[in-house]
Amino acid sequence: MTPLKVSVAASIASLLLLLVVLELVRGRRLKERYALLWIATGLALLVLSAWRGLLTKVAGWFGVATYPPAILFAVATLFIIAVLLHYSTVLSRLSEHNTLLAQRLALLEQRLDQAVGSTGEAPPPG
């Protein structure tokens, strides 16, 4: 059986995580689409921490009935991996967009320079 202290501490920690995430979303410092995975993490951990019977049952399925809190670690780790992987895809997409923007900007600048040059206007400063 899970020690009561573990359940209480884990519940408080999950609640704190949820509160921080919700506050960040409320303050517009975290976009909803990036908050979803974090909220799922917080909820999953909260349910498993507070519902001691469920944790014991799940621990039984995975053969760690002697120490159910191990499931909390496993779930937390899995969610963190999911969040990181999600961020890697976001980062890849961002860097691709960034490259495209740099290329488009440089092409436009060249076209602008050419247009300015051919109309005989003074080039912009710098």
Partner 1 sequence: MSYGRVIAVVPAHNEEAAIGGVITEIKAFDSTFDVVVVDDGSVDATSRVAASHGAAVITLPYNLGIGGAVQTGFMYALENGYPTAVRLDGDGQHVAADMGKLLDVLMVGDADIVTGSRFAGADSHRPRLARRIGIVWFASLVSLLTRQRVTDTTSGYQALNRRGIELFARDYPSDYPEVEATVLVYKHRLRMTEVPVRMREREHGSSSITLVRSIYYLFKVTLALCVAMVRRYAVPDEEVKGP
Output the smallest distance, CB 82 to partner 1, in A. 22
Nearer to partner 1, 1 or 108 (CB): 108
Q: How many residues bind partner 1 (CB under 8 A)?
A: 9
Nearer to partner 1, 57 or 93 (CB): 93
Q: What is the DSSP string of the chain?
A: ---HHHHHHHHHHHHHHHHHHHHHHHTTSS-HHHHHHHHHHHHHHHHHHH-HHHHHHHHHHTT-TT-THHHHHHHHHHHHHHHHHHHHHHHHHHHHHHHHHHHHHHHHHHHHHHHHHHHTPPPPP-
Contacts (CB under 8 A) with partner 1, residues 22-81: none
* Residue from 102, 112, 115, 116 binding partner 1 (CB under 8 A): 102
> In this chain, which stretch among 25-33, 38-46, 78-86, 100-108 interacts with partner 1, using CB under 8 A?
100-108
Asked if residue 88 binds partner 1 (CB under 8 A), the reply is no
* Alpha-carbon separation of residue 1 from 25, 43, 68 (angstroms): 36, 21, 7
Asked if residue 107 binds partner 1 (CB under 8 A), the reply is yes
Q: Give the residues lining the site for partner 1 (CB under 8 A).
A: 99, 102-103, 105-107, 109-110, 114
